[in-house]
Chain A
Amino acid sequence: MMVLDYACAFQDAGIAGHLVHRIAQAANNPIRIMEVCGTHTMALFRHGIRSLLPRTITMLSGPGCPVCVTEQTDIDRCIALARQKDVVVATFGDLMRVPGSTASLQMAKAAGADVRVVYSAMDAVNLARRQTGRIVAFLGIGFETTAPTVGGAILAAEQLDLPNFCVLSAHKTVPPALETLMAYPGTTIDGFLLPGHVSIISGVRAYRRWFGRCQIPSVVAGFEPIDLLQGILALVRQIQADAPALENAYGRAVTENGNTAAQEVLARVFEPVDARWRGMGTIANSGLAIRSAYARFDAARRFDLAVTPLPPTKGCICGDILTGVKTPRHCPLFGSTCTPATPVGPCMVSSEGTCAAYYSYHEQEGIRP
C-alpha cells in the first residue's frame, strides 16, 4: 500500500539511528524540551524515542491535550447537559472516563443518560437528523485542529435548518497558552517542540508574535519518528548555539499561512473569549465561544448548565504536570490512588494525557535499549 510505504520512510531505523547519534553529539549540556502536543507525547513513548535520547535531554509534556486542560467545572457542565431531559450527548470517546466532581460521562451513561461516542461533529449532525424530537448536543472540546470541523458542523446544521442540534463549546487555542507557560512560576523550558496538527490549521504565522516576544528556540514537528527526531535535533542545535529561531521541520504539511479555509470557518462561527485552563487559571483570549449569530446552536445559551464549582481533588498536581514544572513521578497519587481504571485527573485517562502515557509505558522503570 502506497500510503503505508510513505509512512514507513519516516520510520527508517537507519535514518533514525543517524539522527539519534547527531542529537547525542550535539546535546552537551542538560536540556529541557517541552513537547506541547499530547499526540507528540504519545508518539515519543510509542516509538520508544525517549529510550533513545541521551540522558542530557529531558522531554517535558505540555498542555497540548485538550481533554487534560479542560476544567473540572466544564466536565460537570457536560454531565449536567447529559442529564437534561430529551437530550442526547454526542462526544469524542476520550471524554467518557474523565472525572468531574462527582461522576464521569461514563457513569452518567450507566445511570441512564444517553451519551453516544462519535468520531466527528458531522456524525452528531447526522444523529440529530435521525433523532427528531430530541436535542443532540455535541461536546466541543479541542484545539484549532478540531474546532473548524465543529464550526463546519454548525454551518451544516444552519443550512439544514436543524432545530435540534447544538454544541457546548469549550474549545481552546494554543498560542495564548504558550505565553502563559513562559510566565508560569517554576517552569524551566529551553525550547518548544510545537504541535504539528495545530500548525497545519494555524500556520507558522500564528506563533510569530509570541516568538517575537519570547525569543525561545521553537520547532514545529510532525509525528513520525523521523519527524520527531529531526525536530529535536533542530531544537538542540538552536539551544546549544544560543540562537533562538522559529523553525518549521514539518514542511510537508505545515505552511506559513496554514489552512485559510479552516481559519475562515473558525472566525465565522467562533469568537475569542477568556478561558479557564485546568491547573493554569484563566488565559485571556484563549477560548472559543459560539458567536451570537449562531446562538441557537449554542448549548450554553439553550440550557441552564449552572454547576456549583467544587474544589479539585486534593493531591492531584495536573497543573504542575501540564506546565512541565513536575512530572507524574512527583505526584503522590500516581499509580496508587490514580490509575487509568480509577483516574483522579484527566491526564490519567485521556489517550493523550501525560500521566496515562507515563502509566501505560511504565516510564518510571526507565527502559532503555
Chain B
Amino acid sequence: MKNDSILLDHGSGGKMAHQLMHDLLLPLFRDPVLARLHDGALLETPQGRIAFSTDSFVVDPPFFPGGNIGDLAVNGTVNDLAMCGARPAFMSLGLILEEGLAIETLQCILISMAQALERSGTRLVTGDTKVVPRGTADKIFINTSGIGFVPPAAHISGDQARPGDCVILSGNMGDHGIAVLTQRQGLDFESDVISDTAPLHAMVQAILAAAPPVHVLRDPTRGGVATALNEIALQSGVGIEIDEHSLPVAPAVAGICEMLGLDPLHVANEGKLLCLVPEDHASNALAAIQRDPFGRAACIIGRVTGDHPGRVILSTRIGGRRIVDMLSGEQLPRIC
C-alpha cells in the first residue's frame, strides 16, 4: 500500500510531519539555521541576535472556550519567539477568508488579536488579506510571522539539554486540545475545560533573569509534552526521565482523555512551556515560573540523563517503566 498524497497525519506535528519535513522540505531548502528546527530561527545581525518565526492557524471551530483563532494566532507566534529567549517586537498578519464570513465574526477575531498584541507588547506592522470562494476554505485561516530580539546572554536551543538538567512544566497538560475537542460536532461533552492559550514572553524573561543558564525552552503544542520532550532528547542526544506521579493534569481533562483513549502527554497545549535548566538553578527557575499568572501550577516533572540517548522514559505510578514516544498519527485535525 503506497501513499502518494498528503494525509491529515502529515499536519499532526508528530512522526508523519517529521517525515515530510526530512524527506521533502529539508533536502530542498538547505540552510544551517533552518536545519536546527527550533520554534523560530535565530539570526545574527550587526545590531545583535533576532528571532524570526512563522505559524499558520486553521483551528476548527474558530471560537472555543477560552479563546478564538485570533488570540491563538498572536499568542502562538509570541510563544515561538519567546521559546528562543526573545522579546517579541513585530508581527505580520496574513488573513485567508472564505466568501460569506460574517464581518461581525471577523471583527470579533480582530479585536481579540489587537488585545493579544497589546498584552505581549508586539506591534502589527504589515499584513495581507485574501478572500477565496465559498467552500474552498473553511471560514478563516490566519498566518502570523514575528520578529523578536534575543538578549545577548540567552543561549537557548533544543540541542542544549545536558545530563543533570531538571525538566519543568509550567502547568496542566492538554487543556487546549480537550477544550477544542469538546466543541466538535458529535462530541456532546459538557465540561468546563477552557483553552490555556496565553502569551509566555513575560514568563520567559522572568526565567532568564532568575536562572540565566537555562538550556532549553519549548512550548508543547501539537503532539503535546511527549512529542516536545522526544524532539529535545533527539536534538540534544540525551535521555529524559519523567515521573507519572508529578505530571500535572486537570481532573476533567484526565477524565475525558480516559474516556476517549487519549494520553494527556500527547494532547496539545497553547500556553505552557517546558524549561530545561541545570539542577542548581531549577528552584529559581521554578519560582519565577510560579510567580507568573500562567505558571502557578508549574512543577518539576523529570530529569535529563546520559542514559538511553534520544529516548523519553516514564516511571509509572505503580513503579513500572515505559517508553514515551512521539505522537505517531493525527490525534485530532485542526487543533490550532
Contacts and interface: CB of A to CB of B under 8 A. Distances in A.
Interface of A: 1, 3-4, 7, 11-13, 16-17, 20, 45-52, 97, 99-104, 106-107, 110-111, 118-119, 123, 126-127, 225-226, 313, 339-342, 344, 349, 351, 359-362, 365, 367-369
A123 B7 contact: no
Contact of B3 (A50, A51, A107, A123): A107
Contact of B323 (A3, A17, A313, A367): A367
Given A48-B314, A51-B320, A361-B325, A341 B186 contact: no
A11 B318 contact: yes
Given A97-B329, A107-B3, A341-B9, A13 B322 contact: no
B210 to A, nearest CB: 33
Interface of B: 1, 3, 5-9, 15-16, 19, 186-187, 251-252, 254-255, 258, 260-261, 263, 308, 311, 313-323, 325, 328-329
Nearest to B333: A117
A123 B19 CA distance: 34
Contact of A369 (B3, B8, B321, B328): B321
A126 B320 contact: no
A153 to B, nearest CB: 13
Contacts of B318: 11-13, 16-17, 47-49, 52, 225-226
Contacts of B322: 45-48, 51, 361, 367
A100 B321 contact: no
Contacts of A359: 325
Contacts of B315: 48, 369
B15 A341 contact: yes
B329 A4 contact: no
A25 B55 CA distance: 56
A330 B257 CA distance: 33
Given A97-B329, A100-B1, A106 B8 contact: yes
Given A4-B251, A340-B15, A16 B261 contact: no
Nearest to B313: A367
12 contacts: A13-B317, A47-B316, A47-B317, A50-B320, A99-B1, A107-B7, A225-B317, A313-B1, A341-B15, A341-B329, A359-B325, A360-B323
Given A110-B6, A111-B5, A118-B186, A51 B321 contact: yes
Contacts of A52: 318-320
A103 B320 contact: no
A3 B255 contact: yes
A50 B320 CA distance: 8
B317 to A, nearest CB: 5
A52 B320 CA distance: 6
B186 A48 contact: no
Contacts, number: 114
A366 to B, nearest CB: 10
Nearest to B316: A48
A48 B320 contact: yes
A4 B260 contact: no
A97 to B, nearest CB: 6
Contacts of A104: 1
A46 B265 CA distance: 12
B1 A119 contact: no
User: Which among B7, B316, B317 has the greatest number of chain A C-beta atoms within 10 A?
Assistant: B316
Given A48-B319, A51-B320, A107 B314 contact: no
B322 to A, nearest CB: 4
Contacts of A97: 9, 329
Q: Across chains A and B, which 5 residue pairs bring their CB atoms closest together, nearest first?
A: A48-B320, A16-B318, A48-B316, A340-B328, A1-B251
Max count, chain A CB within 10 A of own CB: residue among B255, B260, B311, B323: B323
Nearest to A368: B321
A338 B319 CA distance: 31
Given A48-B315, A361-B325, A341 B320 contact: no
A47 B254 contact: no
B186 A126 contact: yes
Contacts of A107: 1, 3, 5, 7
A12 B260 CA distance: 23
A351 B261 contact: yes
Given A45-B322, A51-B322, A341-B9, A11 B317 contact: yes
Contacts of B187: 119
Contacts of B316: 46-48, 225
B328 A341 contact: yes
Contacts of A362: 311, 323, 325
Given A48-B319, A340-B15, A106 B9 contact: yes
A358 B285 CA distance: 37
Contacts of A106: 7-9
